[in-house]
Structure 1
Amino acid sequence: MRAGTKKKNLTNTQRQHLLQHLLKISYAKSLKLVEPPLSPPQQQWDAAVDTS
């Protein structure tokens, strides 16, 4: 990290939620733009995203 840059401190829950949100978006975009030859197992993605 460079000097003079301030980093927002996120709680683990917030960081995890943000990461999952970004993963979900990028995965959805990749599905729409490119048909991946090997898509990750949907169950794993659902398990990773479902935290209820």
Structure 2
Amino acid sequence: MNTGKLPIYDDFKGTLAQGPDALLACIEFDLSVRREAAASHFESRINELETLWQSI
């Protein structure tokens, strides 16, 4: 079930107690993981489309 919260929301609560720099680092890490996953997904889709195009 999607609650609309970031998967690491609970980590944020503990990280916030360490200060804003720690929280920012946690957010930046989460975004980098999401970026990498998105890039991998789109690369896979592009490969599928290229394969489909070549089969036409």
The normalised TM-score by structure 2 is: 0.44
As a proportion of its length, which structure holds more helix?
2
The normalised TM-score by structure 1 is: 0.47
Kindly name which structure, 1 or 2, has the bigger radius of gyration based on alpha carbons: 2
Higher RCO, 1 vs 2 (CA within 8 Å, ≥6 residues apart):
1
